[in-house]
Amino acid sequence: MPVLRVVDGPSKNAAVVLAADRVTLGRDQTNGLCLNDPKSSRIHAELLPPGYSGKDAVGPADPVGWLMRDLKSSNGTWGPEGRLETVVFNDGFTFRIGASYLRFEAGEDTLEDPSQRWSDPQSVSGLNEAPDEPSLLAAPASPKGTRTGIERANAFLVLLHQIVLRTHTAVGREALFELLDDAAAEALEGDRCAVFIPDGPSELGGWQLWPAHERRLRARYGAVPFARTLLMDARRRAEPLLCANATAQGDVAPSRSMVQAGVTSAMAAPLRIGDQIHALLYVDRIGGTVPFTRTELEFLAAVANQMAVQLHNRERVAGLEAEVQRLASAPRRQVISLIGEDPSMRQVLDFVAKAAPTSAPVLILGESGTGKELIARAIHHQSQRSDRPLQVVNCAAIAESLVESTLFGHVKGAFTGADETRPGVFELADQATLFLDEVGELPHQAQAKLLRALEQGEVQRVGDGVLRKVDVRLIAATNRDLTEEAKRGRFREDLLHRLDVLAVTLPPLRDRPADIDRLADHFLAQTASKLNQPIKRLAPETRAALLRHPWPGNVRQLRNVIERACIFASGEVIEPADLPEGVTDAQPAKLSSSTPITNLAEVERMHILRVLDHCGGNKKATAEILQIDRSTLYAKLRQYGRI
């Protein structure tokens, strides 16, 4: 009899004998072949014998051979030619689901035990390898809240192990907090999952939503209230708590506003080290009648404890690394540190990597304080000209009468005060890189000579008739809109076209809140080295104040605020009182009262599924391209029947 065998992947060597009945495969234990693969849907595909006519089949069978049909799985079924919808098996045909490779064998049954299947939740292969996609191994599938206690307990053990492995490689608090999205979406079957950070007195019991989660929940759920009493009690008692309509099993009774809004149940677990609470993990269910259980609360508490340990350890490691850096001798060559995990900054870093090896001019746009000079230095230090020094000129700081002399040089006696012949920065940057900051401030006459220097590679000193050849890679920066300046006649349009060969716009800090945490920690270490003092830490309330500030001065302002706080802080922990008054006065954004309803649902569905197919079923890549939160993507795919 034919056999379907897993030849590689998490469930390697698992197999099922194909008789005369329909067989399903997927992550659910009720399948004929159960795949211990996080990228497998619960019921991923069906296999039909030749001519099968049972009513349980999704579609017709093949009259001659065994047919495999993908059941609208999230991550797809893949063959040598791409994604498979249906396929008729030939002997030896191999296909892939996630990291699992399966082969159809048409010969005699070669199983030692025909019932050999992965059905014991404790028998998990590949347990020491973290999944290659942020999707986590979910608990066995059942209608919400109907899984047995032993099923959920065993599955949670496996899932918690995967989370522990993931936390070791997560970069920054944002990546750690994303684990909650995965756990809630896949294992806890929660509707809203969020991280709350301490924020002093507020409407939410002294807690503020983590900015990334605030944006996601505001867009999807509008002003549906959170379990305010639960948050207040969790902070006061510093322990995980359960709020459920079935009050006999809950620690906190639901409020009237919760019941009216349809919040069935909620859980909160603190990220606690000693007496300090870094954050609260929160999950709730909206609609339905099934509340969370004690087993699910214990799992959420275990995840919170793991995250708290990781956050504490990272602060300690950051302090030790800063101390080592402070004590070590300065490197001979400057190291450019570019910090950015936000998608907009990752695009900038990708631009730097692609632009650096070339010699084309680069135009860097952005508000003051966004780091334009740092990007220019990074491009130079990654280029083939990095063995020569970068020449830097701030065009806005040069007197108009001295601009040409500074850029192109002058000979003795060319003008009053020219007591000796001097080369300009173009000659000094020969075979190297010249960075012109605030290039929009150049006067018109200097713009014309700059254009000639770029077009012909020639410069002429003031008062001299000799043309000198130079090979200069130019990087220019400005906070002005040069296109608008050109329309108004204040900037030469031909020069703009020559500069705008490779252009990049740096995002303001207010548009990349995910980077505020990492930048703050970086400046803490940098300031400790500068002031020759041990590295200081931010209190949770201080970190919350930094996250909600709009930062009109961008990264430069954040650096100055951190330096000031390190100087004024009396202890090892920087409190909100150590920050400038304008920073602590900022207010967090409020949830909107309603979410607009549009008639583009079908267009949205088609676009999301097309991007998912384009990414080969990779949900993380799909969410990044769509620029939506991953838990939102899970909800959409569940709505479309793809999970």
Mean pLDDT in residue range 586-600: 43
Tokens representing 60 are 């017709």
pLDDT at position 200: 57
Out of 159-173, 517-531, 615-629, pick the least confident.
159-173
Identity at 531, one-letter amino acid code: L
Which strand (E) or helix (H) includes residue 350?
helix 343-355
Structural tokens at position 491: 């900037």
Which carries the bigger pLDDT value, residue 133 or residue 241?
Answer: 241
Phi, psi of 580 (to 5 degrees): -60, 155
329 confidence band (pLDDT: 50, 70, 90)? very low
Which position has the token pair 């709020």?
Answer: 243
Name the residue with higher pLDDT: 314 or 93: 93
What mean pLDDT do residues 185-197 have? 75
pLDDT-based confidence at residue 134 (cuts at 50, 70, 90): very low
Nearest to 250, CA basis, from 235, 270, 236, 264: 264
pLDDT at 370 over 50: yes
User: Is the pLDDT assigned to residue 14 strictly greater than 70?
Assistant: yes
Mean pLDDT value across the chain? 79
CB 379 within 8 A of CB 565: no
Domains of the chain: 3-105 (2.60.200.20), 149-316 (3.30.450.40), 343-505 (3.40.50.300), 601-639 (1.10.10)
Instruction: Give yes or no for residue 103 having a pLDDT over 90.
Output: yes
Q: Mean pLDDT over residues 257-277, rounded?
A: 82
Number of residues in the chain:
643
Q: Across residues 497-505, what is the average pLDDT?
A: 92
- Residue 354: the pLDDT is 94
pLDDT score for 46: 93
pLDDT score recorded for residue 588: 46
- The model's pLDDT over 38-87, given as tens digits with 9 standing for 90+, comes to 888 889 999 999 988 888 888 888 888 899 999 988 888 988 888 899 99
> Does residue 332 have a pLDDT over 60?
no
What's residue 593's pLDDT? 40
Predicted confidence at residue 150, as pLDDT, reads 62
Q: What is the pLDDT of residue 412?
A: 83
Residue 362 above 70 pLDDT?
yes
pLDDT at 113 over 70: no
Backbone angles phi, psi at 583, to 5 degrees: -75, -45
| HEC-encoded secondary structure of 247-267 | HHHCCECCCHHHHHHCEEEEE
Query: Using one digit for the tens of pLDDT, what is the confidence trace for 506-560?
Result: 999 988 877 888 899 899 999 998 888 899 998 888 887 888 888 999 999 999 9
C-beta separation of 72 from 55 below 8 A: no
pLDDT band, very low/low/confident/very high, at 619 (cuts 50, 70, 90): confident
Q: What is the arithmetic mean of pLDDT over 432-456?
A: 90
Name the maximum alpha-carbon separation found in the chain. 102
Which tens digits make up the pLDDT trace of 549-581? 889 999 999 999 999 999 999 889 999 899 988
Per-residue pLDDT band for 326 (boundaries 50, 70, 90) equals low
Q: What is the mean pLDDT of residues 203-229?
A: 74
pLDDT at 186: 60
Query: Which range among 2-16, 354-368, 582-596 has the greatest average pLDDT?
Result: 354-368
What is the pLDDT at residue 137? 40
Q: Which residues pair with 478 in a beta bridge?
A: 365
pLDDT for the residue 179: 67
| Higher pLDDT among residues 355 and 159, named by residue | 355
CB 454 within 8 A of CB 474: yes
Contacts 24+ apart (CB under 8 A), 147-154: 149/295, 151/121, 152/293, 152/295, 152/296, 153/295, 154/121, 154/122
What pTM, to 2 d.p., does this model score? 0.51
Q: What digits encode the pLDDT tens for the residues 248-265? A: 467 777 777 777 778 888
Q: What CA–CA distances, in Å, run from 365 to 23, 370, 503, 547?
A: 59, 9, 7, 24
- Paired tokens of 174: 């944002």
- What does the pLDDT average to over 14-23? 88
User: Which residues in 357-516 belong to E strands, given as ranges?
Assistant: 362-365, 391-394, 409-410, 422-423, 433-437, 458-460, 467-469, 473-478, 502-505
pLDDT at 187: 66
Q: pLDDT tens digits, residue range 297-312?
A: 888 888 888 778 877 7
pLDDT exceeds 80 at position 472: yes
